Amino acid sequence: MTMKPESPKATGWLGWGHAFGELTLSNDELEQRFELSPGWIEQRTGFRARRYASNQQAVSDLAIDAAKLALHRSGVSIRDIGFVLLATSTPDHLLPGTAPMVAARLGSSAPAFDLMAACSGFAYGWMTADHLVKGSGQPVLLIGANVLSRRVNPQNLQTAILFGDAAGAVVLGPTSAVGIVAAIGHSAGEHATQLIIPAGGSRQPWHPDILAADRFMQMPSGQFVFKLAIQAMLADCDAVLKQAEVTSSEIDWLIAHQASYRIVAELGKRLEIPAERVAWWLADYGNSSAATIPVALSLGREQGLIRPGQTILLAAAGAGFCSAASVLRA
């Protein structure tokens, strides 16, 4: 009689990696473009610069570089990966998905698919990967990657000063130790138009008369998005802390989606987590949407800021309007 393998008790974080676009766009250049005073952008966003992909780089290239580093650090062979998940809102093509192409270039024929939940994509991917690991007993390669520089109107002040291009990856696998403790997410689709690229889908297909602005990301009210993001992440964080039976005083690091310093700092303040335990590590790289959390995780591990045994609170909110939070042990 063949016995089914015992399901793993937890999903552990085995490896991490990141990659950035090859080009750098400084605040100085943007402040000259928009005729702003020196320091204006950093004061309002916390960003000093952002990374842009070169003409030779697509989102799959960044995803592969981050994935290779994560696989190397995990010690897991690509042949042993059970699933490849890519969280992105800027795929190489509208069809097919980018994840299968990433998997193939890495040397894998495992099931591979894209997740499109914008800034919350990686957080949703983490929840999905947790179930896949526990259900299959196999490691999962989870990547968050975006090339938002090609979806931002260079003449739109609200978006041009925020977004950049990057990829972050983690290898998640079965473990008997505590890994992901709890996770939760929500959506509020009634606010979907607050962050939107109107053209290019089935609602408004490409055609010669499309307005230039409709080809790019639109954010009608940055202040409204700020308030909505804070409310959504705060509610998810409160719920997941309760679910995990952890208090905010026990959190070693709050790693929120690095949308802007003001959002990250305000969330930490409302959760009563001291500023020195609130991660703000992407000031020189920009907001890369679903990539910011895995990039921050990778940088934190690489720089020795995140250490084994620490308790981490992840939180994200963005277009959709989707949000999520999770508690994990490093």
**Alpha-carbon dihedral 22, 28, 33, 39, rounded to 10 degrees:** 130
156 has catalytic annotation = no
CA distance between the termini of the chain: 38
| Beta bridge partner(s), residue 186 | 323
Q: Return d(Cα 300, Cα 16) in angstroms, integer.
A: 10
Whether 257 is catalytic: yes
The SS3 call for residue 111 is coil
Give me Rg for the CA atoms of the chain: 19
Among the listed residues 27, 146, 237, 257, the single catalytic one is: 257
Q: Which of 142, 196, 143 is nearest to 166 (CA)?
A: 143
Catalytic residue among 18, 119, 146, 322: 119
Q: Which two tokens stand for residue 199?
A: 């053209």
Backbone phi, psi, residue 163, to 5°: -95, 150
Whether 27 is a known active-site residue: answer no
For residue 220, give the nearest of 308, 137, 319 by alpha carbon.
319
Q: Active-site positions?
A: 119, 257, 287
